[in-house]
Structure 1
Amino acid sequence: NLISAEEAFEKMGADVMRWMYCAHPPDRNLLFGYEGAREVQRRLLTLWNSAKFLVDYGNIEGFVPTYSDLEGGPSADLTEIDRWLLARADRAVAEARAAYERWRSDEVVEAFEAYVDDLSNWYIRRNRRRFYEYDEAAFRTLWVGLVTALRIVSPIMPFLTEHLWQVLVAGRCEDAPDSIHLAGWPSALGAVDEELLSSMEVTREIVELGRRARTEAGVKLRQPLRSARVRGGDAARRHADIIRDELRVKEVDFDAPAVVEVSYKPNFPVLGPRIGPKVKEVAAALAAGDYEVREDGSVAVAGEVLSSDEVVRTETVTVEGWGVAQEGNLAVAVDLELDEELILEGRVYDLVRALNEQRKQQGLELTDRITLRLPSEHADLVDRHGEWIAAEVLATSIGVDGSLDAPVIEKA
């Protein structure tokens, strides 16, 4: 079962091998093999695809980066989410530096992967439209964010980071070092805004809970809904627009009332040593609701009086007719009732997704304009939302043809 170094270099790649070793905690044995290598390659695709996204749209829009942006951040008119990414980059740099100084390459990898996930699955996904029409601040912020990621991980992954440095930096900026390994450690991009980072973390938690509520209720994410209610997420109020867009709802309410069911169970590590086997009887009584909560917060149950630290109090939010998901004190409810308008918009999203997939299958470029003919089953969508559909699929014209069984896309 031995894999020779030469074979591993050829089939895995040197950077993937280095990554496997560096990502592994030093106090544990490494199960080295091709399956683990494929998993590393899959993870690194997030970085690669993020860089490809910037290169593709940067070439279309003629974006030229400014090397001095790496010293203190871009001077453009930044949005809040731009400032969030720069603050997130600074935090990643600090985490990686601390890990390197402790000789913990596995913690460097952990910090890098978390940062790249934020960059790709939050910043890029939230800002795609800004790259379709050359928003300078978005291009400059993403470029700084990506290059910072490369510099963080270049000691661990020298070859891939050097390749991307040549594509993103050395080949674009006249005053840039010829190699990433001559560029030094990243400078701070500004004071880290901890409040912004914290509020965005809560926002992402709310979004995940909202999606979970939709999924558990059997409502697909492309289907617009009327409203969402949030309980326990006040820190995210400033990002209500983001929550609304991510959950595809018309409004987000942080103040709507909800029914809260309170339950108790024993805190076994604390209560068990005091009452011994009787803890099972107490647990059963608490589960059955046979207890009394006193004014001082203690709980009388099964002949015992439990202090607040001897019980675990849980609040469960319920909203009749809504889908609810909860994690700790944070809860999100989504209105599941659909009216004609919402159903129609859901069909538009489904159609746009199918048409853009058809564009890819036909080999059309990102900027290619098209003419579009649709079967008559989509006539009501064209009547109500024709301009929206055209903008989403880059159609110069949309027609309805009753003889068609499927959409027809032709390059304009």
Structure 2
Amino acid sequence: WNTYAFYVLYADIDEFDPSQYTLDYEKINVMDRWILSKLNTLIKEVDKRLSNYDITGSTRMMEHFVDDLSNWYVRRSRDRYWGGDMNQDKINAYMTLYTVLDNMIRLSAPFVPFMTESMYQNMIKPFFADAPESVHLSDFPEYNENLIDKDLEIQMQIVLDLVNLGRSARNISEIKIRQPLQKMYIVSENKLEAAYEPLVLDELNVKEIVWADDAESLQDFQFKPQLRTLGRRFGKNLPKVNETLAHVNGRERYAELKEKGYIEIEIAGQLEELKEEDLLISAIQAEGLATASDHGITIALDTKLNDTLIAEGNVREIISKVQNMRKESGFEVANRIHLYYADNDELGKLIEMNKETIQSEVLALEISPLKADVPFVQTWNINGQDLTIGMEVIQ
């Protein structure tokens, strides 16, 4: 329903009529081809499952597809609907989403009859004179084998796995997604083709992907004594062993352990050898990296920030606050605005330096210092700095 509402919102604004266009598969982008491949795979599998009376399996597959549609395809494609011109890419976006919704309405009609009927009567029936009176009089959708691209689906799943791990690493580091980072290190047997890397970089707001060979190189290690083997051996000196292990260089000692089969520490003036069975070893976050692992994939985000990255993060934070103000002020999605700023010279200069980017993102036709009598004014915290933002609709 949320995806349907999104389509209707922008289609109404653009007065988009799907009967006036056709979906040209040769002109669509990789996201369009992926969702159409997933759609046709879904139709094929649901048809097969329903033939075997597998109702539960069918609905679970549709649920997973709707999640991919809403939380990945639409979210990655939504800026394609914002432009004022009905260019080819915008037509492709509309027609791809319309095609998916048309098929999903008919596919899910037996499961949610009233909701799909409402959607059908609003977005399909009015545009096609020969359309059946009801969705329940329409043909069940048929899959197109030529639109199913399994390699593309596999690659996009790798993208989604990397993105999910990247978000987890962001949460671990407590660095917002709006703050750009320089590098993302990846260790995985499943390699991602270079053509798909920009999706990961853009989604996680990272500049560069570096493929690494060893997950252990992205982690640090913490050592503690194994009481079962070292308690009797060191007796009263065991606390000293614990204290010494707590201050060793985890990465260096782990490499030493793997190379020699033991590490050496000095206790009470004597050099002692500790084997792997003498130690409790835990992988921990390395300094300057935020690491996450799952299903044989390890990623690490370089969390070190320079002035350029911090400035970019502030620009994104300003854009986010302006978007929040637009919603809170009750502006229409398509409203163009005049944006104002005040009370922070440093951020003011930053806004002027990035004026075109901000204007494009928030639909601002003009940006200037705050004047009197601006109707919507609010002070925001931009990563520890206060900035006053004002806006008004340009009629």
Pair in the same fold by TM > 0.5: yes
The residue type equivalent to 1:173 in the other structure is F
The residue type equivalent to 2:391 in the other structure is I
- Would the alpha carbon gap of residues 260 and 68 (structure 1) be closer, same or farther in structure 2, given more than 3 Å must change? same
Could you tell me which of 309, 318, 323 is aligned with 1:351? 318
SS of alignment partner, residue 351 of structure 1: helix
Q: Does residue 49 in structure 1 map to residue 2 in structure 2?
A: yes
Which ranges in structure 1 are unaligned for 5 or more consecutive residues?
1-47, 263-280, 283-288, 294-300, 303-314
Could you tell me which of 340, 343, 356 is aligned with 1:387? 356
Could you tell me which of 221, 229, 236 is aligned with 2:177? 221
- Would the alpha carbon gap of residues 317 and 198 (structure 1) be closer, same or farther in structure 2, given more than 3 Å must change? farther
Number of positions where the alignment pairs a residue of Structure 1 with one of Structure 2: 323
Cα drift, residue 235 of structure 1: 3.3
- Would the alpha carbon gap of residues 402 and 157 (structure 1) be closer, same or farther in structure 2, given more than 3 Å must change? closer
| Stretch moving more, 48-57 or 199-208 | 48-57
The answer to whether the 8 Å contact 1:258/1:319 transfers is no
Deviations 1:263-288 (A, max 9, x none): xxxxxxxxxxxxxxxxxx99xxxxxx
Deviations 1:76-111 (A, max 9, x none): 611111110001001111222222222232222211
Which ranges in structure 2 are unaligned for 5 or more consecutive residues?
220-227, 230-253, 260-275, 380-387
| Stretch moving more, 168-177 or 217-226 | 168-177
SS of alignment partner, residue 219 of structure 1: coil
Q: Does residue 410 in structure 1 map to residue 378 in structure 2?
A: no
- Would the alpha carbon gap of residues 63 and 344 (structure 1) be closer, same or farther in structure 2, given more than 3 Å must change? same
Equivalent residue for 1:193? 149
Equivalent residue for 2:109? 154
Percent identical among aligned pairs is: 29
The answer to whether the 8 Å contact 1:210/1:334 transfers is yes
The residue type equivalent to 2:3 in the other structure is S
Could you tell me which of 192, 201, 204 is aligned with 2:160? 204
| Stretch moving more, 227-236 or 363-372 | 227-236
The answer to whether the 8 Å contact 1:221/1:248 transfers is yes
Equivalent residue for 1:127? 77
Deviations 1:13-49 (A, max 9, x none): xxxxxxxxxxxxxxxxxxxxxxxxxxxxxxxxxxx11
Q: For residues 383 and 292 of structure 1, what CA distance do their matches in structure 2 show? A: 54
- Would the alpha carbon gap of residues 163 and 115 (structure 1) be closer, same or farther in structure 2, given more than 3 Å must change? same
Equivalent residue for 2:266? none
Equivalent residue for 2:233? none
Q: TM-score, normalization: structure 1?
A: 0.71
- Would the alpha carbon gap of residues 74 and 96 (structure 1) be closer, same or farther in structure 2, given more than 3 Å must change? farther
- Would the alpha carbon gap of residues 103 and 190 (structure 1) be closer, same or farther in structure 2, given more than 3 Å must change? closer
| Stretch moving more, 119-128 or 343-352 | 343-352
Q: For residues 261 and 322 of structure 1, what CA distance do their matches in structure 2 show? A: 7
Q: For residues 106 and 210 of structure 2, what CA distance do their matches in structure 1 show? A: 41
SS of alignment partner, residue 87 of structure 1: helix
SS of alignment partner, residue 171 of structure 1: helix
Q: For residues 348 and 173 of structure 1, what CA distance do their matches in structure 2 show? A: 45
Cα drift, residue 368 of structure 1: 0.9
Cα drift, residue 196 of structure 1: 0.6
Deviations 1:139-176 (A, max 9, x none): 11111111222112110111110110111211122332
Q: For residues 367 and 223 of structure 1, what CA distance do their matches in structure 2 show? A: 27
Q: For residues 158 and 402 of structure 1, what CA distance do their matches in structure 2 show? A: 54
SS of alignment partner, residue 327 of structure 2: helix
SS of alignment partner, residue 234 of structure 1: coil
Could you tell me which of 242, 248, 252 is aligned with 2:209? 252
Deviations 1:296-345 (A, max 9, x none): xxxxx99xxxxxxxxxxxx9797652111111321111110111111111
Q: Does residue 398 in structure 1 map to residue 394 in structure 2?
A: no
Cα drift, residue 254 of structure 1: 2.4
- Would the alpha carbon gap of residues 67 and 163 (structure 1) be closer, same or farther in structure 2, given more than 3 Å must change? farther
Q: For residues 311 and 215 of structure 2, what CA distance do their matches in structure 1 show? A: 29
Greater percentage in strand: 2
SS of alignment partner, residue 235 of structure 1: coil
Q: For residues 21 and 356 of structure 2, what CA distance do their matches in structure 1 show? A: 41
Superposed, which structure 2 residues align to 1:262-281 within 5 Å?
none
Cα drift, residue 198 of structure 1: 0.8
| Stretch moving more, 112-121 or 248-257 | 248-257
Q: TM-score, normalization: structure 2?
A: 0.74
- Would the alpha carbon gap of residues 292 and 376 (structure 1) be closer, same or farther in structure 2, given more than 3 Å must change? closer
Q: For residues 190 and 137 of structure 1, what CA distance do their matches in structure 2 show? A: 20
Cα drift, residue 247 of structure 1: 0.7
Equivalent residue for 1:140? 95
The residue type equivalent to 2:348 in the other structure is A
Q: Does residue 79 in structure 1 map to residue 34 in structure 2?
A: no
SS of alignment partner, residue 199 of structure 2: helix
Could you tell me which of 188, 192, 197 is aligned with 1:235? 192
Q: RMSD of aligned C-alpha atoms?
A: 3.2
| Stretch moving more, 230-239 or 110-119 | 230-239
Equivalent residue for 1:104? 54
Deviations 1:219-268 (A, max 9, x none): 11111111111111413543100000011011122257764499xxxxxx
Could you tell me which of 13, 17, 25 is aligned with 1:60? 13
Q: For residues 39 and 21 of structure 2, what CA distance do their matches in structure 1 show? A: 16
Q: For residues 256 and 107 of structure 1, what CA distance do their matches in structure 2 show? A: 38
Q: For residues 208 and 229 of structure 1, what CA distance do their matches in structure 2 show? A: 14
Q: For residues 123 and 311 of structure 2, what CA distance do their matches in structure 1 show? A: 42
Superposed, which structure 2 residues align to 1:112-123 within 5 Å?
112-123=62-73
